[in-house]
């Protein structure tokens, strides 16, 4: 997003305050349209189901759904947001390990594609189908080994040990569940195994980012092979192959599309299944920036410069596992020196980045780019309220979410004076 004009930044701060999230409508629109185009040029039957968890601001969803994209949701809560965004159940892919029976009944009644995560969910779906006396089309979440030194089997059924085949057989044998979709998602970070039982997960997070395009080819080939196996052994016919999200930005997507699609083109002769993609960060990450202001500076005993800005991990929780792209709005030409940019929270861990930067003084503005994925939905009112969010579209700026107030928070509380 091009936010380099210092003058317009000052106007934004004057009108909307700091910190300020800035969403680019144009970047969003371009991302969602290009994402679909890049895959569609290689495979004719593609649906993009945008992963709500990355950012479900209504105005963001409006732009994304205007392009015809489906929704990928991971809870009853996100499912309702998709309904409010105007989506029919048939345009919703419902994933996740936490679906309740009520969630499932609603999604079935409305024609959503449910990807079952575990045996208990399959049991519930079978019960529901029995109660309705009607079979249900479902998907099965599969996890596959793509060579990241750990089989990520937290979600779904493992392919290599035969669990995935058994789950599909169980559905078939029930006579009530038709497996029409095979779903997987290549995670972007794992919690590495640790021999210490009391280890803290955050200390062991390993980013798998960016993932190599080869991982998509391996995963795609493996589910294509499974689709063929269940067809020949169980007579199950797959209509959808859903390879999830985890893709890099659209600038580097071409190779990923080529590798993902290759096994589909060679595995299916005439009846090609619909390829579902569930991008989150590739659509929203570079469409949002955060404007923040330097509050104070000091030099630490180790010689590093320390800067406290007015936005911290309360609004940018992804700083826990990756450094942010911070740059000054105006370059002052001073020498670059090792600098830690802290947020304003009373926490040692409130760090946004750690890199050579020019000298700052209170009042200087900083821009943090590429923060559109996973920050806004995970931000909280910890110590500070959540800031305003504006959308810039067609050269005009509009407020799309106002700053959180104490009233907003206290409205949720119940006062029971005794
Ligand atoms: C099932 C599923 N689909 C899609 C996504 C979106 O991933 P990304 O934002 O990396 O594209 C996720 C993220 O966790 C996911 O779990």
Lowest mean pLDDT among 162-171, 193-202, 334-343: 193-202
- From the alpha carbon of 115, which atom of ligand 1 is closest? 1
What is 331-385 written as a DSSP string?
---PPPEEEEEE-SSS-TT-EEEEEEE----TT-EEEEES--SSSTTT---SSS-
Omega of the bond leading into 19 within 30 degrees of 0 (cis):
yes
Q: How far apart are CA 232 and CA 337, in angstroms?
A: 64
Pocket test for ligand 1, best of 31, 52, 54 (most atoms within 8 A of CB): 54
371 CA distance to ligand 1 centroid (A)?
16
Q: How far is CA 304 from CA 184, 340, 348, 360, in A?
A: 44, 7, 15, 13
Q: Is 288 helix (H, G, I), strand (E, B) or coil?
A: strand
Pocket test for ligand 1, best of 52, 79, 246, 277 (most atoms within 8 A of CB): 246
Q: Are 152 and 191 in contact (CB under 8 A)?
A: no
| Mean pLDDT on 191-203 | 77
Ordered by start, the domain boundaries in the chain are: 6-22+285-408, 95-279
The residues with which 292 forms a beta bridge, in sequence order, are 366
Q: How far is CA 140 from CA 204, 227, 316, in A?
A: 29, 11, 33
Q: Which residues line ligand 1 (CB under 6 A)?
A: 51, 53-54, 72, 95, 185, 188, 244-247, 278-282, 373
Q: Does domain 95-279 have CATH number 2.30.30.90?
A: no
Q: What are the tens digits of pLDDT across the range 137-165?
A: 999 999 999 987 666 788 999 999 999 99
Q: Is 153 helix (H, G, I), strand (E, B) or coil?
A: coil
Pocket test for ligand 1, best of 48, 278, 283 (most atoms within 8 A of CB): 278
416 CA distance to ligand 1 centroid (A)?
41
Q: How far apart are CA 24 and CA 389, in angstroms?
A: 11
Neighbour tally for 244: CB within 10 Å? 25
Q: What percent of the chain has pLDDT over 70?
A: 97
283 CA distance to ligand 1 centroid (A)?
11
- From the alpha carbon of 245, which atom of ligand 1 is closest? 11
Q: Is the dihedral of CA 340, 345, 348, 351 positive or negative?
A: negative
Instruction: Tell me the whole-structure pTM to 2 decimals.
Output: 0.96
| Mean pLDDT on 290-318 | 97
Is it the case that residue 315 has pLDDT exceeding 80? yes
Q: What are the tens digits of pLDDT across the range 338-366?
A: 999 999 999 999 999 999 999 999 999 99
Quickly tell me which residue has 């992963």 as its tokens.
51
204 CA distance to ligand 1 centroid (A)?
20
Looking at residue 145, what DSSP letter applies?
Answer: -
Q: What are the tens digits of pLDDT across the range 6-44?
A: 568 999 999 999 999 999 999 999 999 999 999 999 999
Indicate which residue's Cα is closest to atom 16 of ligand 1: 185
Q: How far apart are CA 172 and CA 89, in angstroms?
A: 24
Pocket test for ligand 1, best of 48, 51, 56 (most atoms within 8 A of CB): 51
Please give the CATH number for the structural domain made up of 6-22+285-408: 2.40.37.10
Neighbour tally for 351: CB within 10 Å? 18
- Which has more pLDDT, 3 or 418? 418
The pLDDT of residue 248: 93
137 CA distance to ligand 1 centroid (A)?
22
Q: Is 5 buried (19+), middle (13-18) or exposed (0-12) by CB count in 10 A?
A: exposed
Q: Is 132 helix (H, G, I), strand (E, B) or coil?
A: helix
247 CA distance to ligand 1 centroid (A)?
9
Indicate which residue's Cα is closest to atom 9 of ligand 1: 280
- From the alpha carbon of 281, which atom of ligand 1 is closest? 9
Is it the case that residue 196 has pLDDT exceeding 80? no
Look at residues 57, 43, 50 and name the one whose alpha carbon lies nearest to residue 258: 43
Mean pLDDT of all residues belonging to the chain: 95
């Amino acid at each position: 997003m091009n936010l380099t004009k210092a003058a317009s930044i000052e106007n934004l701060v004057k009108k909307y305050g700091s910190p300020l999230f800035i969403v680019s409508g144009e970047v969003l629109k371009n991302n969602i349209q290009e994402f679909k185009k890049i895959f569609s040029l290689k495979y004719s039957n593609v649906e993009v189901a945008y992963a709500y968890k990355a950012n479900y601001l209504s105005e963001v969803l409006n732009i994304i759904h205007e392009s015809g994209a489906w929704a990928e949701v991971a809870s009853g809560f996100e499912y309702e947001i998709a309904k409010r965004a105007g989506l029919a159940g048939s345009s919703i892919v419902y994933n996740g390990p936490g679906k309740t029976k009520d969630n499932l009944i609603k999604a079935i009644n409305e024609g959503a594609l449910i990807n079952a995560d575990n045996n208990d969910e399959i049991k519930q779906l079978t019960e529901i189908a029995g109660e309705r006396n009607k079979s249900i089309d479902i998907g099965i979440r599969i996890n596959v080994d793509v060579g990241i030194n750990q089989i990520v089997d937290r979600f779904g059924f493992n392919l290599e040990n035969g669990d995935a085949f058994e789950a599909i057989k169980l559905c078939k044998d029930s006579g009530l569940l038709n497996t029409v979709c095979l779903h997987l998602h290549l995670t972007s970070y794992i919690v590495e195994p640790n021999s210490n039982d009391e280890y803290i997960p955050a200390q062991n997070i390993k980013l798998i980012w960016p993932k190599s395009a080869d991982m998509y080819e391996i995963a795609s080939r493996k589910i294509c092979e499974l689709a063929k196996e269940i067809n020949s052994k169980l007579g199950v016919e797959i209509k959808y192959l859903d390879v999830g999200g985890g893709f890099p930005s659209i600038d580097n997507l071409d190779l990923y599309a080529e590798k993902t699609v290759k096994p589909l083109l060679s595995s299916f002769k005439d009846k090609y299944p619909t390829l579902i993609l569930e991008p989150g960060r590739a659509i929203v990450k570079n469409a949002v920036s955060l404007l923040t202001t330097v509050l104070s500076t000091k030099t630490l005993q180790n010689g590093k410069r320390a800067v406290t800005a007015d936005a911290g991990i309360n609004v940018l929780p992804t700083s826990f596992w990756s450094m942010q792209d911070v740059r000054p709005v105006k370059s002052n030409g001073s020498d670059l020196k090792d600098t830690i940019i802290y947020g304003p929270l009373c926490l040692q861990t409130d760090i946004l980045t750690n890199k050579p930067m020019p000298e700052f003084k209170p009042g200087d503005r900083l821009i943090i780019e590429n923060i559109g994925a996973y920050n806004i939905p995970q931000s909280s009112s910890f110590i500070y309220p959540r800031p305003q969010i504006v959308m810039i579209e067609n050269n005009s700026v509009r407020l799309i979410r106002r700053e959180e107030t104490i009233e907003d928070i206290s409205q949720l509380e119940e006062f029971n004076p005794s």
